[in-house]
Amino acid sequence: MLVARKENGDFTIAKEPGEQLSKEEQNLAIAILLHVPDMELLGEQGCAGNYDMYQYFYNCYTDKKYMILFGRDGDAFLKGETILLEAMEMDADDRAELDSGQEACA
């Protein structure tokens, strides 16, 4: 798996050419949790319109949140495309989600 952290806090993740993903890694969210350092789920999945679902992640090192769309980003990932995880600022609701029982960066 190819993972890179950029200076601005963004991450990229892609499978290596010819890499065979395990069944678990074929799910982009699981691949992110397994291969991007200090990344955790933030909240639950949500609906992004009629055709896709989203998931937020939190990174302890950058103190930023990230989002993927399962359909769009998951399909691109399986095709071998590089996925950009764009760093977003945490807001009060995000902080409350972290404080509501999740052990961030434990």
pLDDT of residue 105 exceeding 90, the answer is no
Cα distance between residue 47 and residue 34, in whole Å: 24
Cα distance between residue 56 and residue 93, in whole Å: 13
Torsion of CA 7, 11, 82, 98, to 10 degrees: -160
Is the pLDDT higher at 68 or at 97? 68
pLDDT of residue 63 exceeding 60, the answer is yes
pLDDT tens sequence across 12-57 = 999 999 999 999 999 999 999 999 999 999 988 889 878 899 999 9
Domain layout of the chain by residue ranges? 2-99
Task: Quote the tokens at residue 106.
Answer: 């434990």
Cα distance between residue 86 and residue 54, in whole Å: 14
Q: Percent of the chain having pLDDT more than 90?
A: 79
Q: What is the pLDDT of residue 58?
A: 96
Q: What is the pLDDT of residue 56?
A: 96
